[in-house]
Amino acid sequence: MKILSKKDQAIKWGITHKPTVERFRKKQVKLANGCIEFRSFAWDSRDRYRGFNIQPKGDEGTITALVKAHRFAFALHYGFNKLPVGTNLGPKSGVINHVCNNTRCVNPEHLNVLTLTENALYNNTTTRKNCSHCGQSKPFADFYKRSIKEDRHDYYCKKCRNAYTMRNKAANPKSCSISNCPSPHYARKMCRNHYSQYMYAIGADGRKVGRK
């Protein structure tokens, strides 16, 4: 038997409480692409999901519970029994997936249930975001894990970031650290020729042998 968390208990109570449902629907905005965004505060620091505050009446007064808006919307439309619940999550545990890739969307038609493994695979292959340099929409695989700027809302795709790195190197050339060598820097503060000599030794047969 699955143990309901405090948030799941709040959702179960909230979908049956008319004032709570009305308050939830007042914060919805329908977009042209069919998504229904929930306009509220961010659930986490990455500004992805939206949060919804429920105040179910408990035996000891009012218990405030902050839940994810899309989970509340799923339970409200399909019923609480179809909502994936449980405190112990494993690879086969169910989670709510956004088919539209818009994590702020609460349109029930854009929500389905996948396992954690399926959800991770789906997001890696279909989830897209815009490059803040070229403006093109590309899948997650075309982005590095960390943005090139400090601002977490700024993302460069791999192509733009590599071009940025090459331009930066060309604008700020470094010389070889070996004395009297005018060649440009290649690696470990050395030019390509000195770096090759550093990394490899010439064997008895005249071939390069990697240093141990």
Write the DSSP string, 135-194. Answer: --EEEGGGB-SS-SSSSTT---BHHHHHHHHHHHHHHS--B-SSTT--SBP-BTTB-HHH
Evaluate whether residue 137 is within a structural domain: yes
For 51-60, the pLDDT digits (tens) are: 898 876 654 4
Higher pLDDT, 23 or 150: 23
For 136-154, the pLDDT digits (tens) are: 767 777 776 554 444 444 5
DSSP classification of residue 49: S
pLDDT of residue 66: 87
Answer yes or no: do 104 and 179 share one domain.
Answer: no
Answer yes or no: do 33 and 80 share one domain.
Answer: yes
End position of a domain, from candidates 126, 157, 182 = 126
Answer yes or no: do 140 and 114 share one domain.
Answer: no
Evaluate whether residue 1 is within a structural domain: no
End position of a domain, from candidates 126, 154, 186 = 126
- Look at the pTM and tell me if it is higher than 0.85: no
Residue 33 has pLDDT above 80, yes or no: yes
Mean pLDDT confidence for 170-178: 70
Decide: 119 and 97 in contact? Cβ < 8 Å: yes
Answer yes or no: do 122 and 134 share one domain.
Answer: no
Taking residue 174's Cβ as centre, other Cβ atoms within 10 Å add up to 11
Say which range, 29-38, 55-64, 175-184, 188-197, has the weakest mean pLDDT. Answer: 55-64
